[in-house]
Chain A
Amino acid sequence: MEALLKDIAFIIGTTLMYSTPLIYAAIGGVITERSGIINIGLEGMMYFGAFVGAAVAYFTGDPWLGFFCAGLAGALLGLLHAVATVSFSAEQIVSGIAINFLGVGLALFISRLVFDGATQTLTVPNKIPLPLDFLFGEGRLFASSGFMDLVFNRFATVYLAFALVFVVWFLLYKTRLGMRLRAVGEHPEAADSLGISVFRIRYGAVIASGFLAGLGGAAMSIAVVSRFNNTLISGHGFIALAAMIFGKWKPQGALLACLIFGGAKGLEIFMGAKGVPIPSSLLATLPYILTIIILVGWVGRSQPPASIGRIFDKGEQ
């Protein structure tokens, strides 16, 4: 019985660890798409954020500074995307693809300059801390490697992610700003005719999503592992995008979807560790096939905010 509990705890813990970076990016995706702008560039923003986070954490020794700077890096790319799509009515998908190339390119370019030609950073001296660590271990409240330890003794970024989901949900559905943002996403002309600045709201949303995606990247590079390398972020941004669509553009839905992805990954690692006789590569397909099945069977037609992808032109004034 205890062994079973421990196994479950292990899976939960791993799930939380792998879902967290996705959660940041997916929430960012929700914000921007709710304002009517498609953001395919989450991958590039995460990538750049992961690098900047690790680099700053290495040079300053302060993981939180690194975390914050990762957000700024992502926000910078977000600003570019906003300029293109909001000010210059660019094709949003194309701009997002461009951001992906730019994010990867900038990260590796700067990495080579700063780390002596290498496409990876050196190990950061201090990772994101585990804030509840004091509760676990010899003579403390909970035993080491027990159920509670495996589940609850997580990096701070994990708790922050959950808090973030709540904050964004609250903002979107309870506050004035959130109501206006949703209005802009559904019917920008109506919002405009009431004096709401579609321009400012969309800029804010896109930059915020960049910031969050950058945080997500750092949640990988200075929490889950302790350095950045060129294959660390490989498709996470796209998975976050999928999670957002899966979650029907709601923060709670996106959270659930990220947990499912993280959970499938956790299950895969668990089964690998236990020596289950399914080849690891086939196990790895689990989360993806599962998602398709769920989408086909249950989620089906998900409706994005009505103005998504449509160019909003105030027309000549």
Chain B
Amino acid sequence: MSKLKQKEDFLSGTLGVTLMSVLLGFVLGGVILLVAGFNPLEAYWVILKGIFSRPKYVSYVIIYSTPLIITGLSVAFALRTGLFNIGAEGQYIMGAVAAAAAGYYLKLPMVLHVLTAVGLAVLVAAVWGGLAGYFKARFGVNEVISTIMLNWTALYISNFMVTIDSFGRQGTGKTYAIMSSAQIDILGQWKRTPEGIAFLREHPMLWDILKSPVNLGFIFALLLAVLVWYILSKTTLGYELRAVGHNPQAAEAGGINVKRSMVVSMLIAGGLAGAAGAFQVLGVSHRIATLAIMEGYGFDGIAVSLIGNNSGFGCVFAGLLFGALKYGGSKIQDVMGAPTEVINIMIGIIIFFTAMPKLIRMILAYKKKRKST
């Protein structure tokens, strides 16, 4: 195959479409900035600096991306079975609540405490997702509605938990912090001790990194991505779920239990989103707080999954991209007065173009024609 044909195939394949969409997002975002009176190159430079110029920044990007990657995995997993998990947001919240409660109320040795907290979070969130799956399988209730309802219910349950006397600090709108044995920070305690501070003064790069809430969450995210990939492509369960996602009637005729698959898929998807909430609590916030509106990790996860083409590894890269844009983008407001929401617009544009592979192919075909004339 000639190099040119290879390049054409790549560009019109899904990876190519994604990259083109990202490119178009940056270009059009730049145009919007220009129209608003800002220098897009300056803005992009600020973003780049805001991501890469200090070890702390890189660390923050990784930390920001962690919950996004995992909620992305949750949405991607459900999509493979043909289910649209808008409920990742509510499942995330339930996971966070469970982890915060388990982290605070239980007294266990470190590793066990973390595993229990995560385990409980995954369990609760799995049920939260599985409910929607069950309603769909048994009663035919559209999963879009049921998960939206469950999202709001989760939000208010979380707020209620914050008001419980033993859990929530009166007047602060937050709960007490989880026990240190439940925290998954890396060197979180140590960096505050006198020895720690002394050591860090000698090692400024490490000190910079540790200024951010470095935790094990990212490692878990990567592990979960591998797990998702493995389940979907290597196991009989994955085979069943994919068959149901593509053609539930053929799957049924072949003997696969379609209803069971829907429930199992939502259980796993829910569990994943719950894990995202758990790691965020155990590694970063160490507590939950009253929420006026939903934080959006679940909804952003939808974007991550779509940009990442609903695959395990795609979610990792898309999650990092998303996290980088959101974190770096927050800087342009302070530095140049340009609204950070240009990032939202850019992300919207990227998703918009990933939805239209036909358009990208048309653009490529047009460019090809131009070249040959």
Residues of A within 8 A of B (CB): 40, 80, 84, 88-91, 93-95, 97-109, 111-113, 117, 231, 234-235, 238-239, 241-242, 245-246, 279, 281-282, 284-285, 287-289, 291-292, 295-296, 299-302
Q: B127-140 interface mask toward A, CB cutoff 8 Å, 1 = contact, 0 = none?
A: 00000000100011
In the complex, how many angstroms separate the beta carbon of A80 from the nearest chain B beta carbon? 7
Does B292 contact A231, Cβ atoms closer than 8 Å?
Answer: yes
Which of A84, A97, A108, A296 has most B Cβ within 10 Å? A97
Q: From known contacts A84-B355, A292-B150, infer whether A117 and B145 are also in contact, taking CB-CB under 8 Å.
A: no
Main secondary structure of the interface of A (DSSP, over half): helix
Main secondary structure of the interface of B (DSSP, over half): helix
Residues of B within 8 A of A97 (CB): 302-303, 306, 351
Q: B192-219 interface mask toward A, CB cutoff 8 Å, 1 = contact, 0 = none?
A: 0000000000000000000000000000
Does B160 contact A101, Cβ atoms closer than 8 Å?
Answer: no
- In the assembled complex, the Cα of A279 lies from the Cα of B355 at a distance in Å of 43
Q: From known contacts A241-B144, A288-B149, infer whether A102 and B352 are also in contact, taking CB-CB under 8 Å.
A: yes
Is B24 located at the chain interface by the 8 A CB criterion?
no
- In the assembled complex, the Cα of A284 lies from the Cα of B156 at a distance in Å of 7
Residues of B within 8 A of A281 (CB): 156-157, 159-160, 163
Q: Which of B86, B135, B352 contacts A95 (CB 8 A)?
A: B352
Q: From known contacts A242-B149, A292-B149, infer whether A101 and B345 are also in contact, taking CB-CB under 8 Å.
A: yes
Which of B159, B294, B346, B348 has most A Cβ within 10 Å? B348
Q: Which of A238, A246, A299 contacts B86 (CB 8 A)?
A: A238
Which of A80, A98, A234, A287 has most B Cβ within 10 Å? A98
Does A98 contact B135, Cβ atoms closer than 8 Å?
Answer: no
Does A101 contact B355, Cβ atoms closer than 8 Å?
Answer: no
Q: From known contacts A281-B160, A295-B146, infer whether A101 and B339 are also in contact, taking CB-CB under 8 Å.
A: no
In the complex, how many angstroms separate the beta carbon of B143 from the nearest chain A beta carbon? 10
Residues of B within 8 A of A40 (CB): 144
Residues of B within 8 A of A (CB): 32, 36, 84, 86, 135, 139-142, 144-146, 148-153, 156-157, 159-160, 163, 292-294, 299, 302-303, 306, 333, 337, 339, 341-349, 351-352, 354-356, 358-359
The 4 closest A-B pairs by CB, nearest first: A105-B344, A301-B140, A101-B348, A102-B348
Does B156 contact A296, Cβ atoms closer than 8 Å?
Answer: no
Residues of B within 8 A of A109 (CB): 32, 36, 339, 341-342, 344-345
Does A300 contact B345, Cβ atoms closer than 8 Å?
Answer: no
Residues of B within 8 A of A282 (CB): 156-157, 160
Does B135 contact A292, Cβ atoms closer than 8 Å?
Answer: yes
Residues of A within 8 A of B299 (CB): 100
Does B145 contact A242, Cβ atoms closer than 8 Å?
Answer: yes
- In the assembled complex, the Cα of A299 lies from the Cα of B135 at a distance in Å of 12
- Which residue of B is nearest A38, CB measured? B144
In the complex, how many angstroms separate the beta carbon of A112 from the nearest chain B beta carbon? 4
- Which residue of A is nearest B351, CB measured? A98
- Which residue of A is nearest B160, CB measured? A281
- In the assembled complex, the Cα of A239 lies from the Cα of B294 at a distance in Å of 14
Residues of A within 8 A of B294 (CB): 234-235
Q: From known contacts A99-B348, A279-B160, A281-B156, infer whether A289 and B149 are also in contact, taking CB-CB under 8 Å.
A: yes
New A-B pairs, 10, CB < 8 Å, besides A89-B356, A281-B156: A101-B351, A102-B345, A106-B341, A239-B148, A246-B145, A281-B157, A281-B159, A282-B160, A292-B146, A301-B140
